[in-house]
Amino acid sequence: MERIKALIARFGRIIFLFFMGIILIIYVALGVLYMQQAPQQRDLADQMNKLSAILRTPLTSIDPLNAENEAIYKKLAPLSDAEAIAMLVNLAKTSGIDVTEGVRKFQIPIPSRSTVSVGSGSYQLLSFKGIFVQGAPDKIASFISTLDSGARLENMVLTVLIIEDVEVPLAGVEAEQFAEKESVQKAVREMMADNGIVLLRHPVSRVFGRATNYMGDDPGTLGIFEGFPDNTTTAAEKGYSGNATPKDGYLLTMHDKINSANTTLYSTTNYTQTLKTQWYYTIEDDGTVQQWTGSSLAVATEFSYSGPSKPETRVTVDIAIYFKRR
């Protein structure tokens, strides 16, 4: 009996230690599990705090979105044929194109209308095919650049562009300007050759900022000595050695030419019959004439065509304007 009790007591301690070990293992496992969950709990808490902050923030007003949509519809608002044509005419005029009907430098065909699908949307299309424009190259370039950039109408697309460079005979005022300039240039060459001049000593140069339309001295302006192309070179500088008083300068009208065989003699010569020209002139020492619209070069414009014609650019343009109805 005593042996049985001793055996039971022995096994009882083992069983007790076994159960205590199991409890210890469970405790440690729960501790490890808790330690692993702690960062997850902190992350969850941070997410809850951020969500709470978002929920506390008031919703953005829909007004800006409505305003943006309204602006888009306004840009895509339909234009009548007359409104579209007026816009194109104004654009050409702003670019410096001559839109006068009789000149035929700007012609707009009758437009056509159609409906096209773009993506999931349906748009109305106003098409101009074969718009004709002609003018100075820089003005044509300005017109095409503005047309293609969408600066005037964002929903306008340039679809076809054909460019041709041409020479156009001068006409009207331009033809008159060219004829007068050629006459003055020819008279200058004749005067320089007749007087044995290679370079003018004191030319009426553009560097002084003034041009003149007096080809010789005006007898009606006493005390003022005018003349072109050189009204400054003295008679002595021209080679005169006599006792008379010939006029100074190398002039195109009423020029006192020194006799090369006998420098004590001179004679008055006209290389042009015009004392006063319509336009104004400067000249460089080699005899190159420049023509201006006024005497003050600060505000005058130079006439620069060197021949009886001028370069122009012709373009044929197709454009399409997209509209969207509400």
71 falls within a domain: no
Do residue 295 and residue 201 come from a single domain? yes
> pLDDT digits over 81-137, tens only?
898 899 899 999 999 999 998 888 999 999 998 887 766 667 788 899 999 999 999
Domain, as residue range, for 246 = 172-306
CATH of the domain at 82: 3.30.70.60
1 falls within a domain: no
Indicate the pTM of the whole model: 0.63
Do residue 161 and residue 212 come from a single domain? no
- Mapped onto helix, strand or coil, the DSSP state of residue 81 is helix
> pLDDT digits over 39-51, tens only?
666 776 677 676 6
Do residue 110 and residue 232 come from a single domain? no
Which DSSP category does 108 fall into?
Answer: -
188 falls within a domain: yes
Do residue 136 and residue 194 come from a single domain? no
Do residue 185 and residue 299 come from a single domain? yes
pLDDT for position 159: 85
Q: Is the pLDDT of residue 310 over 80?
A: yes
Count of alpha carbons within 13 angstroms of residue 191, beta-carbon side: 30
Do residue 271 and residue 179 come from a single domain? yes
297 falls within a domain: yes
Do residue 161 and residue 241 come from a single domain? no
Q: Which two tokens stand for residue 147?
A: 């047309």
Bridge partners of 321, per DSSP, are 126, 156
Do residue 143 and residue 190 come from a single domain? no
- Mapped onto helix, strand or coil, the DSSP state of residue 182 is helix
Q: Residue 154: pLDDT band by 50, 70, 90 thresholds?
A: confident
**Phi and psi at residue 104, in whole multiples of 5°?**
65, 40
Domain count for the chain: 2
Do residue 88 and residue 197 come from a single domain? no
Q: Report the range out of 97-101, 121-125, 157-161, 225-229 with the highest average pLDDT.
A: 225-229
Instruction: Give the DSSP H/E element, type plus range, for residue 148.
Output: helix 137-149
Do residue 155 and residue 206 come from a single domain? no
Do residue 288 and residue 240 come from a single domain? yes
Distance from CA of residue 102 to its chain's centroid?
Answer: 28
Do residue 270 and residue 235 come from a single domain? yes
Q: Which of 112, 113, 93 is nearest to 101 (CA)?
A: 93
Q: Which two tokens stand for residue 283?
A: 């000249």
24 falls within a domain: no
11 falls within a domain: no
> pLDDT digits over 143-153, tens only?
998 888 765 56
298 falls within a domain: yes
159 falls within a domain: yes
The fraction of the chain above a pLDDT of 70, given in percent, is 76
Q: Which two tokens stand for residue 119?
A: 């993506």
